[in-house]
Chains A and B, each alone.
Chain A
Amino acid sequence: MQNPLKHTSKQLPYQAPYGYFESLEARTFAKIAAKPRVKSLWQGYLAYAGVALLLLVASYAGWQSQQPATTQDLQQQLSQIDHEAKADYLLNHSDPYDLYQLVDQAAPLADDWLPALEPDEALLWLEADNFETLMTEL
């Protein structure tokens, strides 16, 4: 074959599907009509995402406000209330770990045994008969 390109027909070995060009117009118009809707859908999603973010921030703020005070906060608050109120405050405090930390810092008499206890156990101990002793230390 001297020059294959000159002896080759310019036909392609594959075809377009039957009826393709007849349906192209309608499908293209449908696609054009669908485009703005896709855009508004995205705008909708963005609005939903914005609202969801606001709700998330609000619920986080609410959750934070419900969290127990830190050890430092507790000490500050305890210093401002009287002995009886201290007892109520400690017993009603919801986070054993913070209480444990507080007791650990504020009660030298408990130094020997308190580090060996788990926070829950420390709270139980406080709620039992040693509470009054501790209160005098605080």
Chain B
Amino acid sequence: MSADSPLPKPPLAIDREILQLFASEQTRDSALRLLMQHYSKRLYWHIRKMVIDHDETDDLLQETFIKAWKGLANFRDEAALYTWLYRIATNNCLTHLQKKRVRFFLPIHNITPELQEKLSAATPSEAAESIEFKLQQAILRLPDKQRMVFNMRYYDEMPYEEMSQVLGTSVGALKASYHHAAKKVEDFLKNR
């Protein structure tokens, strides 16, 4: 079993360096390399916890970096690079999950069984009875946004203020959302 999260937030100096490198055409590749070195793992696990499947995560993560590559040249808000990247990844995830719910223009409301199957397929058999696996099963029952809030708070230990910047939701609403999510997860685990 592996847990690459919570990972420490990259120092602000790194973000500044990334932006400086991006400002010049000649050093953009170096900037992207630096960005990936510092954010790959954080963003990978952020996405992976939402879509579960590794290949889908890989696609979404690369898409996140490509969007950053395109938009970063004009990005000036140094303090927000970290939350900006998180926001791109988050939006990619939510859009991806939303698309999964629609087949032939018809909405399919429940993709939880598919995610549960992917969770079982991704989990080694020796971990199938572990509390970590059951916790994941419980989390997958939550609605997407509540699941996102739960993951960011519980696994990434992200402060509510930063979550608010990423998700564009008030701190109060995020606290309430986390509280409801945690309650549902606890109930599920207690009744197993």
Q: Which residues of B contact A (CB under 8 A)?
A: 1-6, 29, 32-33, 36-37, 40-41, 44-45, 48-49, 52, 54, 58, 61-62, 65-66, 69, 119, 122-124, 127-128, 130-133, 135-136, 154-155, 182, 185-186, 189-190
Contacts and interface: CB of A to CB of B under 8 A. Distances in A.
B141 to A, nearest CB: 14
Contacts of A7: 131
A12 B66 contact: no
Interface stretch (A21-29, A57-65, A66-74): A21-29
A5 interface: yes
A31 B65 CA distance: 10
A interface residue count range (under 10 / 10 to 19 / 20 to 34 / 35 or more): 20 to 34
Given A1-B190, A29-B29, A8 B155 contact: no
The 6 closest A-B pairs by CB, nearest first: A11-B3, A14-B122, A4-B189, A13-B133, A15-B2, A13-B123
B132 A8 contact: yes
A24 B32 CA distance: 12
A12 B62 contact: no
Contacts of B6: 10
A4 B131 contact: yes
